[in-house]
Amino acid sequence: MPSVHQILYLFLLWFGFALGGNVATQVLKTPLRLFWKRKCELRGDSLALYNWTVRLIPIVACTLLSGFMHSWPSYVADVWALILGSTAGLCSVAVYHAWKKTLPLVIGVLPDAIRKRLGG
């Protein structure tokens, strides 16, 4: 049975993969859009196919990185590494938006907490 530290490490690694999947999407979206516009118009079925391609980028990127890079600890089986990578890719948009909304709140609370702690 894994320890609490191992589970926490896996969660942080999964969270990093999810954020990385969103970064991969942001990096690849613009060149893909330019390529798509050059080949055909972005209307109707072509626009729907483009949108689904963009949605699949984090899933494919996270799954491939987790499978080929062996970035998960040795106590995680290969099948579970692929499952963890693909779920990180699936949840990458939700993790990004949660991170984007939560981080400014945490940063805004920190000065007050530090002032209280230091007695100011």
Mean pLDDT on 44-69 = 88
pLDDT over 70 percentage in the chain: 99
List helix spans (H) across 4-91: 4-39, 45-68, 78-90
DSSP assigned state of 40? S
Q: Residue 85 is part of which domain span? A: 4-92
pLDDT of residue 56: 92
Asked if the structure places residue 116 within a domain, the reply is: no
Is residue 90 scored above 90 in pLDDT? Answer: yes
pLDDT band at 86 (very low <50, low <70, confident <90, very high): very high
Asked if the structure places residue 48 within a domain, the reply is: yes
Q: How many domains does the chain have?
A: 1
> Of 61, 53, 75, nearest to 5 (Cα)?
75
pTM for the complete prediction? 0.74
Asked if the structure places residue 110 within a domain, the reply is: no
The answer to whether 66 touches 90, Cβ cutoff 8 Å, is no
Asked if the structure places residue 13 within a domain, the reply is: yes
